């Protein structure tokens, strides 16, 4: 590449600034480097520290460890500059001043049982078994992010990891890797967005991750996209969405509902907590020529202001959690103009089963959906009533969810090689297939149902059916 001789200022003399300055200068630019400190290197620094015996120890911090896979350009630079490196093992060791535990990771049994007495510590042995479960739960949570605002601390609590595991494994690990205080570590987000590619492999082109409504069953893969549109259209009809409707959507997904509402002439505000979903939804909406009618925002639904003719939320309540149901329904009520309509799609379970199982912690909580609770239709009615709302329509489609899940599962297994290429290992793939089959069985057996509900203010007369 040829670079014109230009005068360029580089601000900051850390590793990035120094590298940029070097490469630009090699390319023929006249470079001035500005550094606020009286030394170069930024985070990469060597500190002089006095040891207990009075010697001065020179301790490197910052840019120390690298590897060939993730740092190919850095290694090329090192070769070019003649910077020497040396092989090293990378492991972390932990010492607890409270209980005296000491171990080193990544050094096999010799590190894990550096003190033989550790083999007699029951909590420590349990901690070691929790590490695999932690990796699995973390991977699933990343893949199944639906915009939840999980912190690391809440993720660990919800998944039921022991306090000992948190204080003796996760906290030191995260604090060390990110050079942060232990309390800060627990506030870090547990999830970053990763999911679009995985979901695109097994969802239909509408990218709908919720139950479809089929014209006939059993259904084939080719029926799914139309069935997803049928589901959306029913909901929009239920909410009375048409030309000029001001619609709020809580939970954007990948934008298909907002897109179809805009095609009806509605103006749509859609909120999500997932940046990745927002970005893809915006792109799809712009591509369909509806960017002027739809705004997709990164926003907690509780922060939304204003009043809307209609509010729609598809399979979002399951992730809200029982403690927050009152807030959820109060917010729906607050955001609806007088005479407005709320249309929900919700997975439900029988009330008695919900009461009996709401404090249990099952496989699905641990590996697929940390937190949240599937409500019963009765719970929805009760919390709606408490918020001044009334359920006006309530239709179940459980058999349709079973079909939807079957089609997703078949697609997912057909595309195993592509799932694998995204980095999901055979254990994850088996787990995901099991989750889809397990959920399908729940709907086929009638243990689970999925419902479309119309809510209006209790004082509002029952609508005369709307444009359904
Ligand atoms: C304890 C620790 C261990 C780490 N270990 C590793 C590791 O093993 N491997 C690894 O890959 N990474 C590691 N990192 C991360 C790595 O050190 C950093 O990612 C990297 O050094 C960042 O380089 P940088 O140039 O982007 O930023 P910085 O190093 O932050 O440099 C920015 C520079 O800009 C200067 N500056 C800021 N504002 C101005 C201004 N207005 N005007 C002029 N100058 C300004 C600052 O003084 C600083 O010198 C570690 C970090 C820490 C803290």
Q: pLDDT tens across 261-271, in order?
A: 999 999 999 99
- Cα of first residue to Cα of last residue in the chain, in angstroms, is 62
Same domain, 437 and 314: yes
The last residue of one of the domains, among 153, 187, 221, is: 187
Please tell me whether residues 308 and 362 are part of one structural domain. yes
Same domain, yes or no, for 376 and 275? yes
pLDDT value at 193 more than 80: no
At residue 333, does pLDDT exceed 90?
yes
Mean pLDDT of 321-343: 95
353 found inside a domain: yes
> Is pLDDT at 357 greater than 60 in this prediction?
yes
pTM: 0.59
- Does residue 230 lie in a domain region? yes
Q: Is 162 a domain residue?
A: yes
Question: Which band of pLDDT confidence, cut at 50, 70 and 90, is reported for residue 362?
Answer: confident
Are residues 276 and 325 both part of a single domain?
yes
Q: What is the pLDDT of residue 463?
A: 64
Confidence category of residue 5, pLDDT binned at 50, 70, 90: confident
Lookup result for tokens 């109060």: 330
Domain boundary at 187, 205, 237, which?
187
- CA 74 / ligand 1 centre spacing (Å): 15
Residue 148: pLDDT above 60?
no
Report the 3 state secondary structure along the chain.
Answer: CCCCCCEEEEECCEHHHHHHHHHHHHCCCEEEEECCCCCCECCCEEEEEECCCCCEEEEEECCCCCCCCCCHHHHHHHHHHCCCCCCCCCCCEEECCCCCCEEECCCHHHHHCCCHHHHHCHHHHHHHHHHHHHHHHHHHHHHCCCCCCCEHHHHHHHCCCCHHHHHHHHHHHHHHHHCCCHHHHHHCECCCCCCHHHHHHHCCCCCCCCCCCCCCCCCCHHHHHHHHHHHHHHHHHHCCCCCCCEEEEECCCCCHHHHHHHHCCCEEEEEECCHHHHHHHHHHHHHCCCCCCEEEEECCHHHCCCCEEEEEEECCHHHCCHHHHHHHHHHHHHHEEEEEEEEEEEEECCHHHHHHHCCCCCHHHHHCCCCCCCCCHHHHHHHHHHCCEEEEEEEECHHHHHHHHHHHHHHHHHCHHHHHHCCCCHHHHHHHHHHHHHHHHHHHCCCCEEEEEEEEECCCCCCCCCCC
Instruction: Give residue-wise pLDDT tens across range 366-376.
Output: 777 766 789 99
pLDDT, position 467: 38
CB neighbours (10 Å) of residue 268? 28
pLDDT at 192: 58
Say if 124 falls within a structural domain: yes
Res. 324: pLDDT tops 70: yes
pLDDT at residue 370, as a whole number: 67
Pair (137, 164) in one structural domain: yes
Q: Is the CB of 35 under 6 A from ligand 1?
A: yes
**Do 156 and 205 lie in a common domain?**
no
Model confidence over 437-456: pLDDT tens digits? 999 999 999 999 999 999 99
**% of the chain beyond a pLDDT of 70:** 94
> 86 lies in a domain?
no
- Pocket flag, ligand 1, residue 251 (CB < 6 Å): no
Percent of the chain with pLDDT over 90: 63
Q: Are residues 126 and 237 in the same domain?
A: no
Distance from Cα 70 to the centre of ligand 1, integer Å:
18
Question: In this structure, is residue 87 part of a structural domain?
Answer: no
pLDDT value of residue 425: 79
CATH of the domain at 275: 3.40.50.150
For residue 386, pLDDT beyond 90:
yes
pLDDT number for residue 422: 75
Residues 76 and 127 in one domain: no
Highest mean pLDDT among 103-112, 126-135, 191-200, 218-227: 218-227
350 and 292 both lie in a single domain: yes
Residue 11 near residue 24 (C-beta atoms within 8 A):
no
Check pocket membership of 464 for ligand 1, CB cut-off 6 A: no
Q: Are residues 218 and 304 in the same domain?
A: yes
Query: How large is the average pLDDT for residues 239-258?
Result: 97
Counting ligand 1 atoms within 8 A of each CB, the residue from 10, 11, 14, 38 with the most, and so the one to mutate, is 14
pLDDT score, position 90: 78
Residue 272 belongs to domain spanning: 196-457
pLDDT in tens, 65-93: 888 777 777 888 899 999 998 888 778 89
- Cβ–ligand 1 distance for 63 under 6 Å, the answer yes
Do the domain assignments include residue 316?
A: yes
Is the domain of 132 the same as that of 238?
no
Residue 61 Cβ inside 6 Å of ligand 1? The answer reads yes
| Mean pLDDT, residues 384-400 taken together | 97
pLDDT at 466: 44
**32 ligand 1 Cβ < 6 A:** no
pLDDT higher than 50, residue 154: yes
Please give the mean pLDDT across all residues of the chain: 90
Q: With a 6 A CB cut-off, is 12 part of the ligand 1 pocket?
A: yes
How many structural domains is the chain composed of? 3
As a whole number, mean pLDDT of residues 12-34 equals 94
The response to whether residue 10 sits with its C-beta less than 6 Å from ligand 1 reads: no
In this structure, the residue with its CA closest to atom 36 of ligand 1 is 12
Q: What is the pLDDT of residue 359?
A: 83
Structure tokens given for 463: 């609508």
Confidence band (pLDDT; 50, 70, 90) for 182?
A: confident
Q: Which of 32, 63, 64 to mutate to test the pocket of ligand 1 (most atoms within 8 A of CB)?
A: 63
Q: Is residue 410 part of a domain?
A: yes
Per DSSP, what are the bridge partners of residue 345? 314, 452
Question: Is 283 found in the same domain as 408?
Answer: yes
Q: Is the pLDDT of residue 408 over 50?
A: yes
Atom of ligand 1 nearest to the CA of 43: 29
């Amino acid at each position: 590449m040829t670079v014109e001789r230009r005068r360029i200022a580089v601000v900051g003399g850390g590793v990035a600034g120094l590298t940029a300055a070097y490469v630009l200068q090699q390319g023929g630019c006249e470079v001035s480097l500005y550094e606020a400190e009286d030394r170069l290197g930024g985070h990469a620094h060597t500190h002089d520290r006095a040891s207990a015996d009075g010697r001065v120890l020179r301790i490197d911090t910052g840019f120390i460890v690298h590897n060939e896979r993730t740092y190919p350009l850095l290694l090329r630079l090192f070769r070019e500059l003649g910077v020497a490196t040396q092989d090293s093992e990378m492991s972390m060791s932990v010492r607890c001043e409270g209980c005296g535990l000491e171990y080193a990771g990544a050094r096999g049994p010799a590190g894990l049982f550096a003190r033989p007495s550790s083999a007699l510590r029951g909590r420590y042995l349990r901690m070691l078994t929790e590490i695999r479960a932690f990796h699995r739960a973390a991977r699933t949570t990343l893949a199944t992010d639906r915009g939840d605002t999980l912190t690391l601390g809440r993720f660990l609590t919800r998944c039921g990891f022991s306090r000992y595991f948190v204080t003796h494994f996760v906290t030191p690990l995260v604090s060390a890797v990110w050079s942060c205080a232990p309390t800060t570590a627990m506030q870090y987000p547990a999830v970053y967005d990763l999911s679009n590619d995985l979901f695109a492999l097994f969802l239909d082109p509408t990218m709908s991750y919720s139950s479809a409504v089929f014209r006939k069953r059993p259904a084939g893969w080719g029926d799914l996209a139309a069935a997803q549109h049928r589901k959306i259209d029913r909901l929009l009809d239920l909410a009375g969405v048409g030309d000029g409707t001001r619609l709020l959507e809580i939970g954007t997904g990948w934008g298909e509902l907002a897109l179809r509402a805009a095609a009806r002439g509605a103006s749509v505000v859609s909120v999500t907590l997932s940046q990745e979903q927002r970005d893809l939804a915006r792109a799809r909406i712009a591509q369909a020529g509806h960017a002027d009618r739809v705004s997709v925002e990164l926003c907690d639904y509780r922060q939304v202001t204003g009043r809307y003719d209609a509010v729609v939320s598809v399979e979002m309540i399951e992730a809200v959690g029982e403690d927050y149901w009152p807030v959820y329904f109060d917010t729906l009520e607050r955001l609806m103009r007088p005479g407005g309509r709320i249309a929900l799609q919700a997975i439900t379970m029988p009330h008695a089963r919900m009461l009996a199982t709401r404090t249990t912690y099952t496989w699905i909580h641990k590996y697929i959906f940390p937190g949240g609770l599937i409500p019963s239709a009765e719970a929805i009615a009760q919390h709606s009533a408490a918020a001044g709302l009334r359920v006006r329509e309530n239709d179940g489609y459980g058999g349709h969810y079973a079909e939807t899940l079957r089609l997703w599962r078949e697609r997912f297994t057909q595309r195993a090689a592509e799932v694998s290429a995204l980095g999901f290992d055979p254990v994850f793939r088996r787990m995901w297939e099991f989750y889809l089959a397990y959920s399908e069985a729940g709907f086929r057996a009638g243990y689970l149902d999925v419902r479309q509900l119309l809510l209006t203010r209790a004082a509002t007369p029952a609508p005369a059916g709307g444009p359904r």
